[in-house]
Amino acid sequence: MLGNHDLHLVAVAAGIGKLHKSDTLDEILAAPDRDELLHWLRRQKLAHLENGHLLVHAGVLPGWTANKALQLAREVESVLRGDDYVDFIRQMYGNAPQAWQEDLSGYNRLRAIVNAFTRLRVCSPQGEMEFKFKGEVEHIPPGYLPWFEVPGRKNTDATVIFGHWSALGLVVRDNVIALDTGCLWGGPMTAIRLEDRQLFRVPCSNPVAKNW
């Protein structure tokens, strides 16, 4: 699923985003088939729903059902695949609006959708997103909780599978599976076979220093 780093690459390639010191994008940006690669990347999904499993990069706002999440993902995917996608990329960055409202429109609506799918870790019980926090669960700021633990979460109609939150680690529950086990920081790469939920782990090498 498209994530924050994928969209960062698209933004940098479009001359809008700036390379970070820790980025490893040079080979892609200098590749002879760079345009073909970026064209393919912009056509990937933000969310995928199949056989009761909803796959996303980071999270789903607690007020969205699985079908609602899929519908909202399609709104952004359509823009990213369009000829004017650069106009959206220019407006994509930012933390506002922090809470979803059905009457959001234009770039505010698209930005809120992107932030939920690609950046969400914690939110308030009312669904207000918080983006500075990246750490362990025990250090979540007061008034917030993991998005998947919000009481009354509507997307329990599917099993949501996500990554992004490496400090969270492995979580396997009836209706939520978190698979980012910190390969970048030296942890294993983890996969799950959905038929029987058997886990598979591969050691990762060359960890980088944690930045959270």
Give the chain's domain count.
Answer: 1
d(CA 161, CA 49): 10
- The pTM of this model reads 0.94
Rounded to an integer, the average pLDDT of 160-168 is 97
| pLDDT score at 205 | 77
Residue 207 included in any domain: no
Residue 36 included in any domain: yes
Residue 54 included in any domain: yes
Residue 210 included in any domain: no
Tokens of 6: 């994928």
Q: Are 64 and 10 in contact (CB under 8 A)?
A: no
Tokens of 95: 């933390």
Could you tell me the CATH number of the domain that includes residue 124?
3.60.21.10
Residue 128 included in any domain: yes
d(CA 123, CA 136): 14
Rounded to an integer, the average pLDDT of 74-98 is 97
Distances in whole angstroms, Cα of residue 57 to Cα of each of 61, 119, 163:
13, 8, 6
Residue 84 included in any domain: yes
H/E stretch holding 146 reads strand 145-146
pLDDT per residue over 125-138, tens digit each? Answer: 999 999 999 999 99
d(CA 141, CA 121): 12
Residue 211 included in any domain: no
Residue 29 included in any domain: yes
Pick the closest to residue 122 from 105, 103, 136, 106 (CA basis).
136
Kindly report the number of other CB atoms within 10 A of residue 208's CB atom.
10
Q: What percent of the chain has pLDDT over 90?
A: 92
pLDDT higher than threshold 60 for residue 212 = no
Structural domain boundaries enclosing 121? 4-202
